[in-house]
Amino acid sequence: MLRPVRGHHAFEACVEQLATAIRLGVYPLGSALPPERELAAMLHVSRATLREAMAALREAGLVETTRGRGGGTVVTLKPRTPSARAAARISARRRREWLDALEFRRIVEPGAAYLAASATLGDEQRGQLERAHAEVAAASKPAEHRQADSRFHLTIAALSGSSRTVEAVTSVQATLHEMLLAIPVLGTNIAHSDRQHGALVRAIEAGNAERARKTMEQHCDDTAALLRGLVG
């Protein structure tokens, strides 16, 4: 999900992309970020700019860095556990922004699923999709499940082969992450969501683009209905 930085504000854009990737669980607690040289190449920024961004992440408590042989930057941010109490503190303006994001998601994510199913996937890409799906099913704690769910949707976006689609889905998932943290974890919804995830994997691997699109549309609609009811 990391993409070349556009515009003149490279430092701020680096901080935003890396922090979002950490919060969504692309880099979960305890995992190491890619080496400095590799990250700078991904983001198309100088290593000096990247170091400034990493310093900001350290100050915010998201990562820790050790120097020397065997050193590196490790994620220290603990994933938040969903809680219904958070919804009561959300402003009316923020609620409107959230509801708008649900409409945008209904357009973007079904398109990502369609493109992923239309692509010719190799064994490595199929393995990525299956691992992402398995991680959602295996997550035993609500906070871990929330991040694994985000990774699953970002994996589908990545398989679309479109960097702009990845950017759009990342934006949607960042907002959706906030919304889902503001409602309780509901076992019935989790089970239903997992079944839809399985159907998505099957449709994408079968190359059935239309089925993948319709399955994702239904998945987005069901999640939106739940959030509209509980968040308001």
- Please indicate, yes or no, whether residues 74 and 186 belong to a single structural domain of this protein: no
Quote the tokens at residue 98: 């959230």
Q: Sign (positive/negative) of CA torsion 127, 209, 2, 184?
A: negative
CA distances from 177 to 48, 143, 153, 206 (A): 31, 11, 12, 29
Per-residue model confidence (pLDDT) at position 186 = 81
Tell me how long the chain is.
232
Per-residue model confidence (pLDDT) at position 87 = 54
Whether residue 5 is contained in a domain is answered as no
- Please indicate, yes or no, whether residues 121 and 185 belong to a single structural domain of this protein: yes
Per-residue model confidence (pLDDT) at position 140 = 86
Per-residue model confidence (pLDDT) at position 86 = 58
Number of domains, the chain: 2
User: H/E element holding 152?
Assistant: helix 142-159
- Please indicate, yes or no, whether residues 148 and 181 belong to a single structural domain of this protein: yes
Burial 90-125 (b: 16+ CB within 10 A, else e): beeeebeebeebbeebbebbbbbbbbbbbbebeeeb
pTM for the model: 0.78
- Please indicate, yes or no, whether residues 222 and 129 belong to a single structural domain of this protein: yes
Whether residue 4 is contained in a domain is answered as no
Least Cα distance to 231 among 188, 181, 187 occurs for 181
Whether residue 168 is contained in a domain is answered as yes
- Please indicate, yes or no, whether residues 156 and 89 belong to a single structural domain of this protein: yes
Per-residue model confidence (pLDDT) at position 201 = 97
Whether residue 1 is contained in a domain is answered as no
Least Cα distance to 104 among 204, 161, 179 occurs for 179
Per-residue model confidence (pLDDT) at position 195 = 93
Per-residue model confidence (pLDDT) at position 196 = 95
User: 24 with 150: CB under 8 angstroms?
Assistant: yes
- Please indicate, yes or no, whether residues 174 and 212 belong to a single structural domain of this protein: yes
The distance between the two most distant Cα atoms of the chain, rounded to a whole number of Å, is 52
- Please indicate, yes or no, whether residues 142 and 227 belong to a single structural domain of this protein: yes
Q: List the domain range (segments joined by +) for residue 41.
A: 10-78
Phi, psi of 40 (to 5 degrees): -60, -40
User: 204 with 109: CB under 8 angstroms?
Assistant: no
Cα(173)–Cα(101) distance, rounded to whole angstroms?
9
pLDDT in tens, the chain (232 residues): 788 887 768 888 889 889 888 988 899 999 999 998 999 999 999 999 999 999 989 988 899 988 877 778 999 988 877 665 655 566 777 788 888 999 999 999 999 999 999 999 999 999 999 999 999 999 988 889 999 999 999 999 999 999 999 999 999 999 999 888 888 778 888 889 999 999 999 999 999 999 999 999 999 999 998 888 777 6
Ordered DSSP codes for 104-150: HHHHHHHHHHHHHHHS---HHHHHHHHHHHHHHHH--SHHHHHHHHH
